[in-house]
């Protein structure tokens, strides 16, 4: 039973109520359908379902009721017509590229995107004849200059990992559309709780459900939100033949995660802002990167685009006379942690800290790393729900003992 179509429900309500398909048992919590196949009512119906002419499930690689509930709920939160989920965030990007691009096409990408995204688009896709240009995320003129007659896709991530650079989604959407290209935004960091790129002109919103959508660090998941036509014509055929299907159990976890997304994002962002302000005044810290700080280069844009909220991830650099000293000091801070977790993941209720230069961005060349601004003294903090004083004390252990 989906909510009545004539009701205009708020996002907070949709996060809890959208796409609750109750079975004959009337369960209140969303059911978890663990099945790889489906019994067809008759051969004629089975044929129509396989041909896509009739609604109904046929095989686990193509669809599942629990997976469909997650997709509908995420689409509702993003303000999208439709959504197609995948086994991980990276496989969502692969699905998008396989569905929309062919040999000879060109992609313009932010140079400060997630490390594996840069690798997938810059290296793996190049083997299949898709070319790419990587530009400074915040420089609209650079995106424009990178356009070629074959440019089919702009791909941005805002705020970026790990430096929280914020790009103007509306400006990039206008530029892409004038050139006949599409804009995809990786919305992992802000989530639909803070930012809805499709309302600003983006054509596709990509998610790693592994992060804040789950929110408690349990499962891998990914998704693409887009028009119904793009999902049906471009993404579904890739899912059917390539099979990067989201597992029903994982879909159930992220479906339930969406119910608390907004309050988690608000609470974790409030802690992140307070921590960023404290770090900014710390004697051992060279610089803090957080969109909620007035010192952030795109502070005003971030506040307008992200519902006045900086998000839950911040980064900072420790002071150091040279890259070697900065690296060893960053390692000292991380190795001095007694409560918070040294982990490259993010989007957990547990605060996670990482050294991007040697982990998420470790596979990049030094040149790519420099372009992404990932220096050796950089530490990323994905702020969780612990008490702020305990997070500060844990960081201060290392920061005050160089």
CB 93 to ligand PLP: min, Å: 7
Residue nearest to ligand PLP (CB): 89
DSSP 291: T
Contact 92, 231 (CB under 8 A): no
Q: How far apart are the first and last CA of the chain?
A: 59
Contact by Cβ (8 Å): 352, 220: no
- For ligand PLP, give the closer residue by CB, 119 or 282: 119
Closer by beta carbon to ligand PLP, 121 or else 188: 188
The answer to the question of residue 122 lying near ligand PLP (CB under 6 A) is no
In the complex, the smallest distance separating the C-beta of residue 91 from ligand PLP, rounded to whole angstroms, is 7
Identity of the residue, 89 or 292, whose beta carbon is nearer to ligand PLP in the bound complex: 89
User: Applying CB under 6 A, does 220 fall inside the site for ligand PLP?
Assistant: yes
- Min dist CB 114 to ligand PLP, Å, is 4
Minimal distance in Å, beta carbon 258 to ligand PLP? 16
Tokens of 331: 């390692």
For residue 115, state whether it binds ligand PLP (rule: CB under 6 A).
no
Of 27-35, 57-65, 123-131, 204-212, the window that binds ligand PLP (rule: CB under 6 A) is 204-212
Site string for ligand PLP, 59-98 (x = CB under 6 A): -----------------------------xxx--------
Examine residue 158 and tell whether it contacts ligand PLP (CB under 6 A).
no
Question: Alpha helices, DSSP H only, in 336-375?
Answer: 366-371
Cα 376 from Cα 363, distance rounded (Å) = 14
Q: Is 137 in the site for ligand PLP (CB under 6 A)?
A: no
Which of 18, 71, 157, 394: binder of ligand PLP (CB under 6 A)?
Answer: 157
CB neighbour list of residue 126: distance below 8 Å, 6 or more residues apart: 132
Minimum distance from residue 396 beta carbon to ligand PLP (Å): 27
DSSP at 31? P
The answer to whether residues 319 and 329 touch, using CB atoms and an 8 Å cutoff, is yes
Applying CB under 6 A, what is the total number of residues that bind ligand PLP? 14
Give the whole-angstrom CA distance, residue 394 versus residue 352: 12
| 30 vs 186 by CB, closer to ligand PLP | 186
Minimum CB–partner distance for residue 85 and ligand PLP (Å) = 11
Exposed / middle / buried, residue 259 (Cβ in 10 Å: 0-12, 13-18, 19+): middle
In 3D space, the residue among 188, 119, 130 whose CA is nearest the CA of residue 159 turns out to be: 188
Q: Is 394 in the site for ligand PLP (CB under 6 A)?
A: no
When binding is defined by CB under 6 A, the residue of 99, 222, 292, 398 that contacts ligand PLP is: 222
Q: How far is it, in rounded angstroms, from Cα 243 to Cα 62?
A: 8
| Least Å from the CB of residue 397 to ligand PLP | 27
CA dist., res. 225 & res. 337, Å (int):
38
> Shortest distance, CB of residue 312 to ligand PLP, whole angstroms?
12
Nearer to ligand PLP, 209 or 320 (CB): 209
161 binds ligand PLP per the rule CB under 6 A: yes
Contacts of residue 289, Cβ cutoff 8 Å, sequence gap at least 6: 162, 163, 164, 296, 314, 315, 316
What secondary structure letter does DSSP report for 30?
Answer: P
Order of strands, edge to edge, in the sheet holding 204-208?
82-86, 222-226, 204-208, 182-186, 151-157, 106-110, 131-135
Site for ligand PLP (CB under 6 A): which residue of 95, 185, 188, 318?
188
CA distances from 24 to 6, 16, 127, 249 (A): 24, 20, 50, 21
Nearest to 108 by CA among 154, 43, 170, 46: 154
Give the residues across from 157 on adjacent strands: 186
Q: Is the dihedral of CA 189, 194, 199, 200 positive or negative?
A: negative
Q: Least distance from C-beta 107 to ligand PLP, angstroms?
A: 15
Among 114, 252, 289, 316, indicate the residue that binds ligand PLP (CB under 6 A).
114
- Footprint of ligand PLP on residues 280-319 (CB under 6 A)? none
Q: Using CB under 6 A, list all residues that contact ligand PLP.
A: 88-90, 114, 117, 157, 161, 186, 188, 208, 210-211, 220, 222
């Amino acid at each position: 039973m989906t909510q009545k179509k004539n009701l205009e429900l708020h996002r907070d309500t949709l996060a809890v109520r959208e796409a609750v398909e109750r079975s004959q048992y009337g369960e209140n919590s969303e059911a978890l359908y663990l099945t790889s196949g489906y019994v067809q009512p008759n051969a004629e119906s089975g044929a129509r379902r396989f041909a896509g002419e009739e609604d109904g499930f046929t095989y686990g690689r193509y669809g599942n009721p629990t997976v469909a509930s997650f997709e509908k709920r995420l689409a509702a939160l993003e303000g999208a017509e439709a959504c197609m989920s995948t086994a991980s965030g990276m496989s969502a990007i692969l699905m998008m590229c396989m569905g929309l691009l062919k040999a000879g096409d060109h992609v313009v990408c932010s140079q400060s995107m997630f490390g594996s995204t840069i690798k997938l688009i810059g290296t793996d896709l190049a083997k299949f004849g898709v070319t790419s240009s990587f530009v400074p995320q915040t420089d609209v003129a650079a995106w424009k200059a990178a356009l070629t007659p074959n440019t089919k896709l702009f791909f941005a991530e805002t705020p970026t990992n790990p430096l929280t650079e914020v790009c103007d989604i509306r400006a990039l959407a206008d530029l892409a559309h004038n050139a006949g290209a599409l804009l995809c935004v990786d919305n992992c960091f802000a989530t639909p709780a803070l930012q809805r790129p499709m309302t600003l002109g983006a054509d596709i919103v990509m998610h790693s459900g592994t992060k804040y959508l789950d929110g408690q660090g349990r499962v891998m998941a990914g998704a693409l939100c887009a028009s119904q036509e793009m999902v049906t014509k471009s993404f579904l055929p890739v899912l059917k033949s390539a099979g990067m299907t989201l597992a029903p159990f994982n879909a159930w976890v992220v479906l339930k995660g969406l119910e608390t997304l907004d309050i988690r994002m608000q609470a974790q962002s409030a802690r992140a802002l307070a921590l960023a302000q404290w770090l900014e005044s710390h004697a051992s810290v060279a610089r803090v990167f957080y969109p909620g700080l007035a010192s952030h280069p795109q502070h005003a844009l971030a506040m307008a685009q992200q519902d006045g909220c900086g998000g839950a991830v911040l980064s900072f650099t420790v002071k150091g006379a040279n890259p070697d000293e900065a690296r060893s000091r960053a390692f000292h801070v991380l190795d001095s942690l007694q409560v918070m977790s040294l982990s490259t993941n993010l989007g957990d209720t547990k605060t996670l800290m990482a050294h991007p230069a040697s982990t998420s961005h470790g596979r990049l060349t030094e040149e790519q790393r420099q372009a992404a601004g990932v220096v050796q003294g950089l530490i990323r903090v994905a702020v969780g729900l612990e008490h702020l004083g305990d997070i500060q004390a844990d960081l201060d252990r290392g920061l005050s003992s160089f």
